[in-house]
Structure 1
Amino acid sequence: MRLTLGRLLPVAILSAAVALAGCSTTGTDDSSEPAASSTAAAQFPVTIPTAFGDVTISKQPSRVVALGWSDADVALSLGVQPVGASDWMALGGDGQGPWNTGKYTTAPKLLGTLEIDMEQVAALKPDLILDTRSSGEKTRYDQLAKLGVPVVDVPKGGEQYLTTWEQQLDMIGKALGKQTEAAKLKSDLDAKFTSTAQANPKFNGATASAVARTGDGWGAYVSGDGRVDFLQKLGFKNAPAIEKLKTNNFYIPLSNEQLDLADADVTVVFLIQATLDQVKSDKIFQAVPSVKAGHVAYMDNKDISTAFSSNSVGGLSYAIDKVTPLLAGALG
Structure 2
Amino acid sequence: MRLRRPLIAVAGLAAAALALTACASGTPEESTSASDSAVGTGFPITIEHAFGETVIEAAPERVATWGWGSTEAAISVGVYPVAVAEQSWTVGEGNLLPWVEEAYDAAGVEHPVVINDDEGGATIPYEEFIEAAPDLIVAPYSGLTEEQYDTLSDIAPVVAYPEAPWTTPWDDTISITATALGREAEGEAVLDEIDGYLADEAAKHPEFAGKTFAGIWDGDGLVYVYTGADPRIAILTELGLEVAPSVAELDTSDGGFFYELSYEQLDKLDADFIVNYSNSKEEAEALLTKPETQAIPAVAAGKVAQVYDPVTVSSVSPPTALSFKWEGGMPTLIDSIAGVLAE
Q: Normalization by structure 1: what TM-score?
A: 0.82
Say yes or no: does 1:144 pair with 2:149. Answer: no
Instruction: Return the letter of the residue paired with 1:324.
Output: I
Aligned to 1:25: 32
Aligned to 1:258: 265
Q: CA deviation at 1:109?
A: 2.3
SS state of the match for residue 332, structure 2?
A: helix
Aligned to 1:118: 126
Say yes or no: does 1:249 pair with 2:259. Answer: no
SS state of the match for residue 323, structure 2?
A: helix
Q: Distance in 2 between matches of 1:294 and 1:245?
A: 22
Say yes or no: does 1:128 pair with 2:128. Answer: no
SS state of the match for residue 271, structure 2?
A: coil
**295, 300, 319: which one aligns with 2:303:** 295
**192, 204, 207: which one aligns with 2:197:** 192
Q: CA deviation at 1:215?
A: 5.0
SS state of the match for residue 174, structure 2?
A: helix
Superposed, 1:178-327 pairs within 5 Å as: 178-214=183-219, 217-246=222-251, 247-272=254-279, 275-318=283-326, 319-327=329-337
Corresponding pairs, count:
300
Q: CA deviation at 1:287?
A: 4.8
Instruction: Return the letter of the residue paired with 1:222.
Output: T
Q: CA deviation at 1:315?
A: 2.7
Residues 39-76 of structure 1: per-residue CA shift (max 9 Å, x gap):
32x43322222223332212221211111222222222
Cα 1:222–1:107 change in 2 (3 A) is same
Residues 99-130 of structure 1: per-residue CA shift (max 9 Å, x gap):
33422232422322221111111111111111
Cα 1:91–1:216 change in 2 (3 A) is farther
Say yes or no: does 1:52 pair with 2:48. Answer: no
Q: Distance in 2 between matches of 1:50 and 1:268?
A: 31
Q: Distance in 2 between matches of 1:311 and 1:215?
A: 26
Cα 1:310–1:97 change in 2 (3 A) is farther
Aligned to 1:163: 168
SS state of the match for residue 60, structure 2?
A: coil
SS state of the match for residue 134, structure 1?
A: coil
Q: Is the 2:279–2:308 contact (alpha carbons within 8 Å) kept by the matching residues of 1?
A: no
Q: Is the 1:133–1:168 contact (alpha carbons within 8 Å) kept by the matching residues of 2?
A: yes
Q: Normalization by structure 2: what TM-score?
A: 0.80
Cα 1:231–1:287 change in 2 (3 A) is same
Say yes or no: does 1:154 pair with 2:164. Answer: no
Q: Is the 2:86–2:114 contact (alpha carbons within 8 Å) kept by the matching residues of 1?
A: no
Instruction: Return the letter of the residue paired with 2:231.
Output: G
Q: Is the 2:279–2:310 contact (alpha carbons within 8 Å) kept by the matching residues of 1?
A: no
Q: CA deviation at 1:317?
A: 4.1
- The runs of 5 or more residues in structure 2 that have no matched partner are 1-25, 105-109
Instruction: Return the letter of the residue paired with 1:234.
Output: L
SS state of the match for residue 309, structure 1?
A: coil
SS state of the match for residue 79, structure 2?
A: coil
Residues 118-145 of structure 1: per-residue CA shift (max 9 Å, x gap):
1111111111111212235211111111
SS state of the match for residue 121, structure 1?
A: helix
Say yes or no: does 1:92 pair with 2:92. Answer: yes
Q: Which has the higher contact order (CA 8 A, sep 6+)?
A: 1
Residues 248-297 of structure 1: per-residue CA shift (max 9 Å, x gap):
21101111112223442111101158823442441221353322322111
Q: Distance in 1 between matches of 2:70 and 2:90?
A: 14
Residues 231-250 of structure 1: per-residue CA shift (max 9 Å, x gap):
21111111211221233211
Aligned to 1:103: 103
Aligned to 1:329: 339
Cα 1:101–1:224 change in 2 (3 A) is same
Q: Is the 1:220–1:253 contact (alpha carbons within 8 Å) kept by the matching residues of 2?
A: yes
Q: Is the 2:229–2:255 contact (alpha carbons within 8 Å) kept by the matching residues of 1?
A: no
Q: Distance in 2 between matches of 1:255 and 1:287?
A: 11
Instruction: Return the letter of the residue paired with 2:200.
Output: S
SS state of the match for residue 126, structure 1?
A: coil
Q: Distance in 2 between matches of 1:179 and 1:71?
A: 14
**Aligned-residue RMSD, C-alpha:** 2.3
SS state of the match for residue 34, structure 2?
A: coil
Q: CA deviation at 1:299?
A: 0.6
Say yes or no: does 1:64 pair with 2:63. Answer: yes
Q: Is the 1:66–1:84 contact (alpha carbons within 8 Å) kept by the matching residues of 2?
A: yes
SS state of the match for residue 283, structure 1?
A: coil
Q: Is the 1:304–1:323 contact (alpha carbons within 8 Å) kept by the matching residues of 2?
A: no
Q: Distance in 2 between matches of 1:227 and 1:302?
A: 14
